[in-house]
Structure 1
Amino acid sequence: FHQKLSTPGWTFKESGPNEKDRQLLVEFDHVVTEMGLLKPEYREIITDICQKMQTGMADYAHRAALVESYDPHSGLPKPSPYLENIAEYDLYCHYVAGLVGEGLSRLFAASGKEVTWLGEQLTLSNSMGLLLQKTNILRDLREDVDQGRYFWPREFWGVHQGGEKSRAPGKGEWFGFATPEDLVRAIGPVGPVVPKGDNTPAERAMFVLSAMTLDALRHATDALDYLALLKNQSVFNFCAIPAVMALATLEVCFMNPDIFRKNVKIRKGQAVQLIMKSTNPRDVAYMFRDFARGIHAKASPADPNFLRIGIACGRIEAWAEHHYPSFITISQSQSQPGSTSVEMSTTDARMRIVKRDQLRETRLKAESEAKRRRELGLPEQAVIEQEGLPWALIAAVAGFFLLICALAGGIVMGTLWWFGDA
């Protein structure tokens, strides 16, 4: 396919009538024309990413046709349409989404809109793509199963067979469903599902959803690290908005039985709010934190992943608090429109640490200045132990002001005395 990107007039008209990308391929010659108008460095990046992606997707298509699994009903080997474990799931998501993140980072760097080394941040770029892709896979479970697509790894939902080439099951990792269809059917058509630890099929299905959510959350802090590197506002918005919506979707889907019944999405009004708020790393980090709190609040102690969910949410909370402490408030300045003011809470215990660090920094600067003056043979200045008001300057100004007042008073009194008799 990467060669077709530079083949003038190439189109593909053999897609089925219901394929979503059919019209794009029928008119692909227009894409080829636009591709030729790009700068050579952009074309090189796009072609390279397409080549890597097509190779990976072909590998998975080949694997689905040839790799044998075990039929849970007959016990006989058969071609496996499933991803077996987390490693295969991660690699698949890398091919279809992580490479997109890598390509975009390289394009941002090549365009000069971001720093040149951003294209080398492969781990962070990959995590951005995996966060979005895994959220979409989680949300689209019912639609995918109905159409015969299986992306949820069998490590989370399947029956463990001793003859399979897989590691031994860990606690809470194998939930005993024969097929994804059985997983979907475990949830009734209506009503909530409240886990009580009684190991019913519906409860086990909810715990599979919890495991999928946990797996997606492990990419959240990497995504925040990536967003913190971006300096261009348009690039930041382009990357931050889908990431925030992914966290919002995970929060809506977590422990929500409707995932097994239909496609679940966030409300349009909420989507608009998220778009308007996703303007800087601090606000994005706080939104990540709020959605993580929502997920943790819905976690069930009966869930085998309950502790892991708490740790994953805690990591997001810790990241936000470490980079953007909540006791520091940034607001619009009322005296100077367009500027911001920074305020620190005087009641927060962490302010003692901030003040101590400020005093230490002031002392180090004073010692450095004294050392510099000694090296230049100049008289040393006293090391300032603590920043304060410039009392010497204030006293000089006050003395000068009093002198002026005294002179003015003397002139007035002299004038009155001289002309008093007249």
Structure 2
Amino acid sequence: MFAAASTTSAVQFQFQFREGGGRQHSTTVRRKKHNHSLVSSSLKLPDSLPSILRHPDELYPMLRLKLALKVSEKQIPAELPHWRFCYSELNKIDGSLFAIQQFDKDIRDPLCVYAMVLRALDTIEDDSTIPAEDKVPLLQTFHHHIRNGNLHFLNGTKDYQVLLEKFHNVTTAFLELDCRFQEVIEDMVMRIGVGMAKFVGKEVNTIDDYDEYCHYITGLSMVGMLKIYSVNSGKDLAPDKLLYSMCLFFQKADFIKDFLDDINEMPKPRIFWPRQIWGKYVDKLEDLKDEDNSAKALLCLNEMVTNALTHVEDSLKGLSTLPDPTIFRAIAIILVIDFGTLVACYNNIQVFQSGVRLRPGLAAKIFYKIRTMFDVCEAIHDFSFTLESKIRDNNPNDKVTRNLIDTIKKFCNKNSGTSNQRKSYII
């Protein structure tokens, strides 16, 4: 999971493959779903004029961030063509270039290769036209192809065409890494691929299924990122339980805000919400888009957000244990932006009609304000009051939601000295 801030259009997140002498398949890959990037794409610059007029304090951080992103694009390595390819594609597809440039030089290359390999793996997992009997073994063995180059991609569309057709550049870069980084990347890609294969053709029925899937697609990828850091620095990681909670929170926030994109995916909807929750309200998940079901849709949405909130306290605890300031800040920004995004989604029917994102200017403001645990707690504390004000008594989960918010506020008060009477500094 490579992300540092949900930032910009410049910071974003029909191919055929032939394995050995096997069959060929063609498809169109529309977008990458999984939250593997250190910078995700909910901030688009510039923002609309009405929003800027309502929040003039956000204009400067937006312009500052936009300039920083432009500068980062000019710092792509130019010496070796395979590294130039990896970093330029990282910027186009994964959106992590700006974030990775903040890390020590020793781990930039491994992080870049890791991100590109995960995007290629995602491409296969996301493709609904590949038969399960082909997709499952391909996902399970994909880690071998990083090294031996036996997997060849042909044709495609847009930026993914370039990555998939020229994946040999990623292989060349991978083979130049220190063997310790190679072992981490191979091991994590193997584990992620096996986890993805487990869910091919399998519906996310229960909340346990939901948690397990989020663990495979985001949890393990973040563990890989931190292992790369640990191998380089010799420092220990945060406890596994806390890392697990952080990753579940990040991916669940993505699945909630991306409901409309996923349900409208072609050639068929992508369903990530667990039936155990949405089945209480509608017969089919896509029925939540029906205006006649608006009341039920909001109840379902609010229960999904409440489920995600169960991971916030452990996420904050895990964040506080991260040893490196750059790693800390990268993950802290995601945590605050994702929490703010869930606040924006809560009880908001637009999730099912037009989609909901955090204001770009607010995301940029967070990007520059969040540097310490104190900053994180103040921001989360602020957002918690906004979330609390949106709870309605007709919500059957309102008590659970309020209790979770109280727990989050108590943690923030304990760790930053925030006050219930203090005026918001973020929102």
User: What's the TM-score, normalizing by structure 1?
Assistant: 0.62
- In 2, the alpha carbon distance for the partners of 1:104 and 1:123 equals 16
Of the candidates 102, 110, 126, which is equivalent to residue 223 of structure 2?
A: 102
- In 1, the alpha carbon distance for the partners of 2:255 and 2:190 equals 23
| Residue 122, structure 1, aligned to residue 240, structure 2 | yes
Checking the alignment, whether the CA contact within 8 Å between 2:322 and 2:328 is kept in structure 1 is yes
- In 1, the alpha carbon distance for the partners of 2:242 and 2:303 equals 22
Of the candidates 199, 202, 217, which is equivalent to residue 60 of structure 1?
A: 199
| Residue 322, structure 1, aligned to residue 414, structure 2 | yes
- In 2, the alpha carbon distance for the partners of 1:315 and 1:38 equals 44
Of the candidates 167, 170, 178, which is equivalent to residue 283 of structure 2?
A: 178
**1:47 aligned partner, one-letter code:** E
List aligned pairs for 1:192-271, cutoff 5 A: 201-271=293-363
What runs of 5+ residues in structure 2 fail to find an aligned partner?
Answer: 1-141, 420-427
Q: Deviations over 1:343-392 (max 9, x none)?
A: xxxxxxxxxxxxxxxxxxxxxxxxxxxxxxxxxxxxxxxxxxxxxxxxxx
List aligned pairs for 1:9-28, cutoff 5 A: 10-13=151-154, 17=157, 21-28=160-167
Of the candidates 232, 240, 252, which is equivalent to residue 134 of structure 1?
A: 252
Query: What is the Cα deviation at residue 178 of structure 1?
Result: 0.9
Query: What is the Cα deviation at residue 52 of structure 1?
Result: 0.6
List aligned pairs for 1:75-90, cutoff 5 A: 82-90=203-211
- Partner-residue secondary structure (3-state), 2:216: helix
Of the candidates 47, 51, 62, which is equivalent to residue 186 of structure 2?
A: 47
- Partner-residue secondary structure (3-state), 1:289: helix
Q: Deviations over 1:152-198 (max 9, x none)?
A: 1111111xxxxxxxxxxxxxxx22x110121211x36xxxxxxxxxx
- In 2, the alpha carbon distance for the partners of 1:248 and 1:49 equals 30
Question: Which protein is bigger by CA-based radius of gyration?
Answer: 1
Query: What is the Cα deviation at residue 21 of structure 1?
Result: 3.7
Which position in structure 2 is the counterpart of 1:305? 397
What runs of 5+ residues in structure 1 fail to find an aligned partner?
Answer: 65-81, 159-173, 189-200, 328-422
Query: What is the Cα deviation at residue 8 of structure 1?
Result: 4.3
148-157 or 234-243: bigger deviation = 234-243
Checking the alignment, whether the CA contact within 8 Å between 2:381 and 2:418 is kept in structure 1 is no
Checking the alignment, whether the CA contact within 8 Å between 2:219 and 2:243 is kept in structure 1 is yes
- In 2, the alpha carbon distance for the partners of 1:294 and 1:37 equals 49
- Partner-residue secondary structure (3-state), 1:11: strand
**1:11 aligned partner, one-letter code:** H
Of the candidates 207, 213, 234, which is equivalent to residue 92 of structure 1?
A: 213
Checking the alignment, whether the CA contact within 8 Å between 1:143 and 1:262 is kept in structure 2 is no
- In 2, the alpha carbon distance for the partners of 1:58 and 1:263 equals 29
Checking the alignment, whether the CA contact within 8 Å between 1:241 and 1:278 is kept in structure 2 is yes
**1:220 aligned partner, one-letter code:** V
Checking the alignment, whether the CA contact within 8 Å between 1:10 and 1:29 is kept in structure 2 is no
Query: What is the Cα deviation at residue 40 of structure 1?
Result: 1.4
Query: What is the Cα deviation at residue 9 of structure 1?
Result: 7.4
Query: What is the Cα deviation at residue 247 of structure 1?
Result: 0.6
**1:6 aligned partner, one-letter code:** R
- In 1, the alpha carbon distance for the partners of 2:342 and 2:331 equals 17
What is the identity percentage for the equivalent residue pairs of Structure 1 and Structure 2? 28
Query: What is the Cα deviation at residue 11 of structure 1?
Result: 3.2
- In 1, the alpha carbon distance for the partners of 2:207 and 2:305 equals 13
- In 1, the alpha carbon distance for the partners of 2:326 and 2:415 equals 22
- Partner-residue secondary structure (3-state), 2:183: helix
Q: Deviations over 1:298-322 (max 9, x none)?
A: 0111000000100111111011112
**1:30 aligned partner, one-letter code:** N
Which position in structure 2 is the counterpart of 1:409? none
Of the candidates 251, 254, 263, which is equivalent to residue 145 of structure 1?
A: 263
Structure number with higher relative contact order (C-alpha < 8 Å, ≥ 6 residues apart): 2
What is the root-mean-square deviation of aligned Cα atoms in Å? 1.8
Query: What is the Cα deviation at residue 145 of structure 1?
Result: 0.8
Q: How many residues align?
A: 275
List aligned pairs for 1:359-398, cutoff 5 A: none
Checking the alignment, whether the CA contact within 8 Å between 1:10 and 1:32 is kept in structure 2 is no
Structure 2 vs 1, CA of residues 128 and 41 (structure 1 numbering), >3 Å: closer, same or farther?
same
**2:242 aligned partner, one-letter code:** L
Q: Deviations over 1:228-262 (max 9, x none)?
A: 11232221221111111101100111111000012
- In 2, the alpha carbon distance for the partners of 1:208 and 1:240 equals 28
Query: What is the Cα deviation at residue 134 of structure 1?
Result: 0.6
Of the candidates 170, 180, 184, which is equivalent to residue 31 of structure 1?
A: 170
- In 2, the alpha carbon distance for the partners of 1:60 and 1:267 equals 34
User: What's the TM-score, normalizing by structure 2?
Assistant: 0.61
Checking the alignment, whether the CA contact within 8 Å between 1:135 and 1:249 is kept in structure 2 is yes
Which position in structure 2 is the counterpart of 1:5? 146
- In 2, the alpha carbon distance for the partners of 1:40 and 1:258 equals 48
**1:90 aligned partner, one-letter code:** D
